[in-house]
């Protein structure tokens, strides 16, 4: 249902972002993927998107801490894919430390990548969407857009900020056929999470099972991870014409975390 549409997904070289890219391409959208990683692995993913789904797939290396690179990526997608119909702001990093020890440069990096990059993306993409009277903007927030956890000052501030930014731009674009919504996942099974398990087993003398249930899933009542494909399925729904009345919303997909 997305044939003829083009999408930019930031931070889509792994995890949730890559799942978004695959889901959109599977529905016929051309995609621009973005993010860091091994050049050969990224090229493999890009080529696989084209080969599997018969769509155009581009890779742009824009660094989400650089406003000029973000604007250039949006302009490039518009020129080379023909339009910018869907933008998914997804790139994100984490840093964990108590506030009095939180390194200033880590605060700046988390705010830049997890929050300000979304402002720069929206700033560049909204005029293109307004001109076409159609657009879908989706931001990947987090359960931490609604609740806090200790030692995550920058991440929680950025994700609460994303929720507010999303609502604001939803109001500004409401009469232009554009919707702007947040998706707020709990713990999602991505390589990032999976790779923490062996170290935590060692550090705490726990079994794999204990790390998953007592550490990672302590806040998630279902005691089950969310899967990237489930997050992507929600994003796909928000791109449908049937979802045109949904704007300024923040959808939790967190196994009950924020209900507790």
Question: Which residues are marked as active site?
Answer: 155
Contact status: 31 vs ligand NAD (CB under 6 A)? no
Binding residue for ligand NAD, selected from 2, 6, 8, 17, defined by CB under 6 A: 17
Contact status: 11 vs ligand NAD (CB under 6 A)? yes
Contact status: 16 vs ligand NAD (CB under 6 A)? yes
Binding residue for ligand NAD, selected from 72, 93, 111, 253, defined by CB under 6 A: 93
CB 45 to ligand NAD: min, Å: 10
- Pick the piece of the chain touching ligand NAD (CB under 6 A) from 90-98, 165-173, 207-215, 242-250: 90-98
Residues contacting ligand NAD: total by CB under 6 A: 29
Report d(CA 82, CA 249) in Å as an integer.
Answer: 28
Contact status: 161 vs ligand NAD (CB under 6 A)? no
Site string for ligand NAD, 98-137 (x = CB under 6 A): ---------------xx-----------------------
Report d(CA 72, CA 91) in Å as an integer.
Answer: 17
Rg (CA), the chain: 18
Sign of CA dihedral 180, 84, 17, 92: negative
Report d(CA 14, CA 60) in Å as an integer.
Answer: 14
- Secondary-structure breakdown of the chain: helix, strand, coil percentages, each rounded to the nearest 5: 55, 15, 30
Tell me which residue has tokens 């249930």. Answer: 213
DSSP 13: S
What number of CA atoms fall less than 13 Å from residue 104's CA on the CB side? 0
Report d(CA 170, CA 34) in Å as an integer.
Answer: 24
Closest CA to 170 of 132, 138, 127: 138
Binding residue for ligand NAD, selected from 6, 30, 83, 90, defined by CB under 6 A: 90
CB 3 to ligand NAD: min, Å: 26
Site string for ligand NAD, 182-201 (x = CB under 6 A): ---x-xx-xxxx--------
- Pick the piece of the chain touching ligand NAD (CB under 6 A) from 29-37, 80-88, 172-180, 232-240: 29-37
Tokens representing 172 are: 């500004």
Report d(CA 42, CA 22) in Å as an integer.
Answer: 13
DSSP 250: E
Contact status: 24 vs ligand NAD (CB under 6 A)? no
Closest CB to ligand NAD among residues 135, 185: 185
CB 107 to ligand NAD: min, Å: 15
**Residues forming the site for ligand NAD (CB under 6 A):** 11-17, 34-37, 63-65, 90-93, 113-114, 140, 142, 185, 187-188, 190-193
């Amino acid at each position: 249902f997305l044939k003829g549409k083009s999408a930019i997904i930031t931070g889509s070289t792994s995890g949730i972002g890559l799942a978004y890219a695959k889901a959109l391409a599977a529905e016929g959208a051309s995609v621009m993927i973005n993010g860091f990683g091994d050049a050969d692995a990224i090229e493999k993913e890009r080529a696989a998107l084209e080969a599997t789904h018969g769509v155009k797939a581009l890779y742009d290396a824009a660094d989400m801490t650089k406003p000029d690179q973000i604007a250039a990526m949006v302009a490039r997608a518009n020129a080379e894919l023909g339009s910018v119909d869907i933008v998914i702001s997804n790139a994100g990093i984490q840093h964990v430390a108590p506030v009095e020890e939180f390194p200033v440069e880590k605060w700046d990096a988390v705010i830049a990548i997890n929050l300000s990059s979304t402002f720069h993306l929206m700033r560049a993409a909204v005029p293109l969407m307004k001109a076409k009277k159609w657009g879908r903007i989706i931001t990947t927030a987090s359960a931490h857009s609604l609740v806090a956890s200790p030692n995550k000052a920058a991440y929680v501030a950025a994700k609460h900020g994303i929720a507010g930014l999303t609502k604001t731009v939803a109001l500004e674009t409401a009469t232009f056929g554009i919707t702007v919504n947040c998706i707020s996942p709990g713990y999602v099974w991505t390589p990032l999470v999976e790779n923490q398990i062996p170290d935590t087993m060692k550090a705490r003398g726990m079994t794999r099972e204990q790390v998953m249930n007592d550490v990672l899933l302590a806040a998630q009542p279902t005691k089950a991870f969310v899967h990237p494909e489930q997050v992507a399925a929600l994003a796909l729904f928000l791109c449908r014409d049937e979802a045109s009345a949904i704007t300024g919303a923040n959808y939790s997909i967190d196994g009950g975390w924020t209900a507790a």
